[in-house]
Structure formats: C-alpha cells, structure tokens
Amino acid sequence: MRRSQINSIYLEAKSCFENHGWELPPNPRWDITDFGLGDFGRFGLVLINLAEEPEYCEKLMYARRGQTTPMHTHARKKEDIICRHGELTLELWAAHPEKTERGGAFSLRINGEPRALRSGSASRFMPESGLHSRPGFTTPSGRQERTASSAKSPPPMTTQMTISL
C-alpha cells in the first residue's frame, strides 16, 4: 500500500471514531492492512490495538462496507467481537474448513448466551451485539497463530468477516 493511501484510510477511520464519540487512548498503535492482497477496497481492515496479551487481545476495528477479512485462527487467545456500528457478518466454522464438514454442529456464546451453530453458517451482528470466542477460534485479525493441540482443548473455529455500514 502507498503511504498516501494509508494516510487517507487513517483519517477516514479516525473521523469515524470521533463522529461516534469513541475516545482512543493516547498514542494507540494503528495497523492498516490489505493482508498482503493488494486490494484494500475488498480485503482491508484498520485495527487500533488497545490490549495485547498472550491470552487476550482487544482491538477497535474499522472496515468499509463490503470489505472481507480473510479467514484465520488464534490458537491461544480469547477474543470478543462486538459490532459497534453498521452490520457485521461472520462466517463461522467448528474447525478449519478443509478439516470439517459444512453444517457440523458447534456452540458459541453470542450476546452472552450459548448458541447452537452450524459450520459454514453466516451470523449477522447488529450494533451492540457480538460473540465471545475461546482459544482456537478463527477471527478477523489477519494473523494465524499455531500451538500444539491438547486433548483437553476445545476444537478450533474459523470465521470470515464481512462488514456493511
């Protein structure tokens, strides 16, 4: 991505946060990515890293209408994904799509309540709704982390995210 494009996207995201009254901490770390795909308009995401711990991360994310985040997994981290504005659609999987059958049953906490889901299904989130993931859940951050699996670990899940504003 060109510096001018990154600067423009930064100002666009910053304006969105300010327009909605979302205060950012002093000197937050910004990540603006096209996931190496060279097409920010289709595959882009802006992340403001608020907390980064081995077992948990907190990020404020901004995406344009129709942008998609590639599927990936956090093997060790818990993550809350909350839609604050617009509409968020997540394609959820019980395990990596190459390793699980579409339609397989699994559960996940959505809006604080356990919900039965099917692998490959799309879940839509409106403002102030979201999900709580467990380690192994594939989320829209752009990085894949790997660890050795244990018999006691829950199965990993995967998501693909699409945003509509």
> Which pLDDT value is given to residue 33?
92
* Weakly modelled stretches of the chain, pLDDT under 70: 73-74, 134-165
Task: Identify the CATH number of the domain in which residue 13 sits.
Answer: 2.60.120.10
> Which pLDDT value is given to residue 136?
58
Domain extent at residue 133: 3-164
Triad 46, 95, 77: Cα angle to 5°: 50
- For 84-130, how does the pLDDT look when each residue is reduced to its tens digit (9 = 90+)? 888 888 888 877 777 778 898 888 888 888 889 888 888 888 888 88
Contact 153, 90 (CB under 8 A): no
Total domains in the chain come to 1
CA nearest 50: which of 32, 69, 27?
A: 27
